[in-house]
């Protein structure tokens, strides 16, 4: 088979995996707060259940991003998708808040294993990261819509998630490994994190506020009168717009994207506070979709382009998202129970402002150091 055709088939498989894995994640994600509540969990316990998923994602993203830089990308991918297929299936056996917490911890660890390796694979093949990342958003859109149609039949959602990961695993088995630079770096090092601290920690602040909102958002939509179908449809708007936007960002400078992302986040989160019914949430979803498209593509592209350890740099983006998932879920549960849903959304707007200011300060310091 000609080499060019092998490369094309490999990229098609990687693209399929990006779409299906993100769809699988969402099928198990959307109604977790509602499902946890039906098992007797309080808002604070719901925050912990959502947060443990992100905590284990943080851990595995750091570990396996480094392993992917030092070893074969295909080996990391095979292990990651095989483990994800198993862990997502085990969610079927969650019958109380404790067992659900353990199941979500395993699924969170599994989904942190492969993203860094996937991003590195696409980068070394000299393909557009924005277009590749957008397929993940397309998977989120499809997952939200399907979950909304199925509703709170959690066993079915968990089984479908596992099945999609089985498909991903089979795609990766047929994937050819690629040559990449051999790096002489230690297994455990914070150098990459510290060199790019402005990008990473600013993203952490903004996403902490966002996760606080998403932790209780299905419950907020319910309060505004939304049915299961409308919850799924409203959630699907966000990744649908992301898919369209991310594919058109190749020519825009990373720093401009990042700054615009923070400012649009403020506008979007504040708009949720004033929604009288669930239909008024929809414009804000468009704004938030644009903000995350700019932030995620700009931040990922920036760290991958500036660092030799590509999988580690990309994996740390996922680690920041995981860390924000922990802090945001706990804060979202606490603020919602103590002060109401609106306070959580105001907190997300404030965290976006802080992220913007931190990125400006670190960016100014980096430019002075270079000069």
Determine the Cα–Cα distance for residues 345 and 108; give it in Å rounded to an integer. Answer: 25
Mark out the alpha helices in the chain (DSSP H runs): 3-29, 32-38, 43-70, 73-90, 97-111, 115-124, 129-150, 154-173, 191-195, 197-223, 228-246, 254-273, 282-306, 310-339, 341-370
pLDDT at 227: 87
Decide if 182 is inside a domain.
no
pLDDT score at 309 = 82
Contact between 348 and 264 (Cβ < 8 Å)? no
The overall pTM is greater than 0.85 = no
Residue ranges of the chain with per-residue pLDDT less than 70: 1-8, 10, 180-189, 363-371
Report the pLDDT value the prediction gives residue 371, as an integer from 0 to 100.
Answer: 43
| Rg of the chain on CA atoms, in Å | 19
**Residue 118: CATH number of its domain:** 1.20.1250.20
185 located within any domain = no
**Residue-level pLDDT at 216:** 82
Count other Cβ atoms within 10 Å, centred on residue 149: 11
Q: How far is the C-alpha of 64 from the C-alpha of 73, rounded, in Å? A: 10
CA 60, 212, 85: angle at the middle one, nearest 5?
35
pLDDT value of residue 370: 43
Asked if the structure places residue 60 within a domain, the reply is yes
For the beta carbon of residue 209, count every other beta carbon within 10 angstroms: 28
> Does any domain span residue 353?
yes
Total Cβ atoms within 10 A of residue 186: 8
Number of domains in the chain: 1
Q: Which two tokens stand for residue 54?
A: 């992100």
In a domain, residue 324? The reply is: yes
- The SS3 call for residue 132 is helix
Domain housing 129: 3-175+193-370
Q: Which of 50, 47, 158 is nearest to 104 (CA)?
A: 50
Residue 326 lies in a domain: yes
pLDDT tens track for 84-115: 999 999 999 999 999 999 999 999 999 999 98
Task: Judge whether 184 lies within some domain.
Answer: no
Q: Does a structural domain hold residue 289?
A: yes
pLDDT tens track for 147-206: 888 887 889 999 999 999 999 999 998 887 777 666 666 556 677 888 888 899 999 999
């Amino acid at each position: 088979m000609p080499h060019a055709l092998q490369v094309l088939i490999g990229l098609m498989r990687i693209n399929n995996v990006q779409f299906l894995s993100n769809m699988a994640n969402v099928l198990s994600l959307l109604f977790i707060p509602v499902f946890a509540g039906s098992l007797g969990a309080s808002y604070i316990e719901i925050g912990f259940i959502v947060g443990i998923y992100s905590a284990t994602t943080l851990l595995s993203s750091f570990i396996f991003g480094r392993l992917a830089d030092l070893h074969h990308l295909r080996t990391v991918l095979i292990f990651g998708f095989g483990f994800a297929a198993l862990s997502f299936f085990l969610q079927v056996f969650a019958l109380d808040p404790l067992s659900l917490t353990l199941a979500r911890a395993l699924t969170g660890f599994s989904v942190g294993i492969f993203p860094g390796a996937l991003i590195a694979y696409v980068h070394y093949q000299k393909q557009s990261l924005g277009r590749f990342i957008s397929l993940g958003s397309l998977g989120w859109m499809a997952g939200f819509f399907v979950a909304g149609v199925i509703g709170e039949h959690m066993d079915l959602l968990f089984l479908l998630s596992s099945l999609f990961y089985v498909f991903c695993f089979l795609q990766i088995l047929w994937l050819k490994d690629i040559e990449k630079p051999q790096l002489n770096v230690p297994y455990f090092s914070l150098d990459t994190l510290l060199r790019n601290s402005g990008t990473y920690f600013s993203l952490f602040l903004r996403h902490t506020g966002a996760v606080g909102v998403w932790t209780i958002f299905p419950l907020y939509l319910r309060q505004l009168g939304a049915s299961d179908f409308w919850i799924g449809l409203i959630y699907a708007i966000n990744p649908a717009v992301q898919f369209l936007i991310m594919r058109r960002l190749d020519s825009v400078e990373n720093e401009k994207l990042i700054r615009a992302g923070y400012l649009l986040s403020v506008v979007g989160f504040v708009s949720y506070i004033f929604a009288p019914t669930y239909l008024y949430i929809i414009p804000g979803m468009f704004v938030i979709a644009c903000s995350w498209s700019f932030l995620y593509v700009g931040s990922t592209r920036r760290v991958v382009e500036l660092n030799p350890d590509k999988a580690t740099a990309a994996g740390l983006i996922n680690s920041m998202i995981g860390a924000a998932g922990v802090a945001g879920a706990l804060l979202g549960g606490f603020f919602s129970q103590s002060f109401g849903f609106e306070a959580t959304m105001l907190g997300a707007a404030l965290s976006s402002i802080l992220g913007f200011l931190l990125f400006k300060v670190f960016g100014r310091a980096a430019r002075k150091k270079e000069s």
